[in-house]
Amino acid sequence: MRCRTCDATLELAELPELVGEAGGASLEILGVKAQSCGEDGHPMALVYPDFPGDLLAALLLDGGLPVAGESGFLRKRTACGECGGEVGEAPDAELRCRVWVKRASPCTVTYRGPVVRCGGCGRVQLRAGTELEDRLRDALLAALGSAFELG
């Protein structure tokens, strides 16, 4: 691939930490690589186009961030992802994880925002659901959008 501005060949470069916020939560992502010509202000390209979606999936589904799921049949409750215990409200907290996205290098992601805490094992985790998915997606796009033009 070549730079759309100066036609130089793009090379992989590691970006400084990217930060994005949405819905009272923030994400810091360290280790994201870009295809760049190296000139300031020239557009950079993602390692591959589906990277944002794959990173979100790695965070939420593939064991990146700890997530409490719903359980119960008649009465839904949020159950700890570790021990199945009942979780309750907790003050905002910081969670950090390292994620491996296929076809990209590992990233370190730091989440700050709303969490729940297990009454059984004490594990601090995120409450699964569309609200969490929306919040994380928006924060992730804000973080990546600070470096890339996202389509």
Q: Which is nearer to Zn ion, 29 or 80 (CB)?
A: 80
- β-bridge pairing 67-71 and 124-127: parallel
Looking at beta carbons only, is 71 or 106 nearer to Zn ion? 71
CB 106, min distance to Zn ion, A: 27
Q: Which is nearer to Zn ion, 82 or 133 (CB)?
A: 82
What are the angstrom distances between the C-alpha of 149 and each of 7, 34, 130, 146?
Answer: 18, 12, 25, 8
Task: Cite the DSSP H helix spans in 10-129.
Answer: 51-60
Minimum distance of Zn ion from residue 102's CB (angstroms): 28
Cβ neighbours around 124 below 10 Å, total:
16
Residues that bind Zn ion (CB under 5 A): 3, 5-6, 37, 39, 42, 80, 82-83, 85, 118, 120-121, 123
Closest approach of Zn ion to the CB of residue 53, in Å: 26
In whole angstroms, the minimum distance from the beta carbon of 82 to Zn ion comes to 5
Q: How far apart are CA 19 and CA 27, in angstroms?
A: 6
Alpha helices in the chain (DSSP H): 51-60, 130-145
Measured from the CB atom, the residue of 61 and 83 that comes closer to Zn ion is 83
